[in-house]
Amino acid sequence: MSTLAVPAPVLADRLVPDVRWRDAALVVGGALLVALLAQLRVYLPFTPVPITGQTLGVALVGAGLGARRGALSMGLYVGLGALGLPFYAGGEGGLSFVFGATGGYLLGFVAAAALVGRLAERQADRRPLTAFISLQAGSLVIFAFGLAGLMLTTGVGFEQAIAQGWLPFIPGDLFKTALAAGLLPGAWALIERFTGR
């Protein structure tokens, strides 16, 4: 019988002391980070889906907190926004967003944070290339959920969903992924330099 590999520590494990309530504080902090980045938005006239900083936040939260805490953080983000807190793009909130055109993307945040977090636990966030690949995998998960939600809620076909819900976002997504793929290994390099581990 084989044993499961113990996940490597993620950034939060190295940066934040293991004190009481640490995990809860990290989960809440991750949700608040994505809520803040959601306010960086650009609306496009041909799609109901805005360009936001949310996906950058999801990538950083997933990699920084790991699979379990990252998914919990994004679940909290989606839940608090659904309750009406101004957590979504443009300071919006409410159930209409979860069940509307952007709902698939919101649900995809949870799955993407879990995937990116799992890959970070396997040390994929420690080198720029592997970080970029793992973060792009997370982005693809978000877009897969998002496109499915867009088709279900608006009734558009697959080609129109691609045109409205994915293609316009590729350049920005690549930029955000490249930014995070540079930040994460840089953070690890600083930790190793100052802690000697």
**36-54 confidence digits (pLDDT tens):** 999 988 888 877 788 899 9
Q: What is the pLDDT of residue 181?
A: 96
Is 193 part of any domain? no
State the virtual CA torsion across 184, 188, 194, 197 in degrees, nearest 10.
170
Domain assignment present for 3: no
Name every residue whose Cβ is closer than 8 Å to that of residue 196 and which is 6 or more positions away in sequence. Answer: none
Containing domain of residue 65, as a range?
Answer: 22-186
Q: What is the mean pLDDT of residues 153-170?
A: 94
Give a yes or no: residue 47 inside a domain: yes
Number of structural domains the chain divides into: 1
Q: What is the pLDDT of residue 2?
A: 45
Indicate which CATH number applies to the domain containing 105: 1.10.1760.20
Q: For residue 36, what are its two tokens?
A: 């803040």
As given in the structure block, the two tokens for residue 93 are 């909130």
Residue 12, domain member (yes or no): no
Q: How confident is the model at residue 79 (pLDDT cuts 50, 70, 90)?
A: very high
Average pLDDT over residues 179-196: 89
In this structure, is residue 1 part of a structural domain?
no
**Spatial separation of the C-alpha atoms in residues 161 and 154, rounded to whole Å:** 9
Banded pLDDT at 4 (limits 50, 70, 90): low
CA 52 to chain centre: 12
Within-domain flag for 5: no
User: Does residue 14 lie in a domain region?
Assistant: no
User: How do residues 96-126 score in pLDDT, each as one tens digit?
Assistant: 999 999 999 999 999 999 999 999 999 999 9
> Higher pLDDT residue, 11 or 141?
141
- From 108, 131, 107, select the one nearest 187 (Cα to Cα): 131
| Lowest mean pLDDT, pick from 8-22, 50-64, 141-155, 165-179 | 8-22
130 in any annotated domain: yes
Q: Is the pTM of this model over 0.95?
A: no
Q: What angle do CA 114, 117, 118 make, to 5 degrees?
A: 85
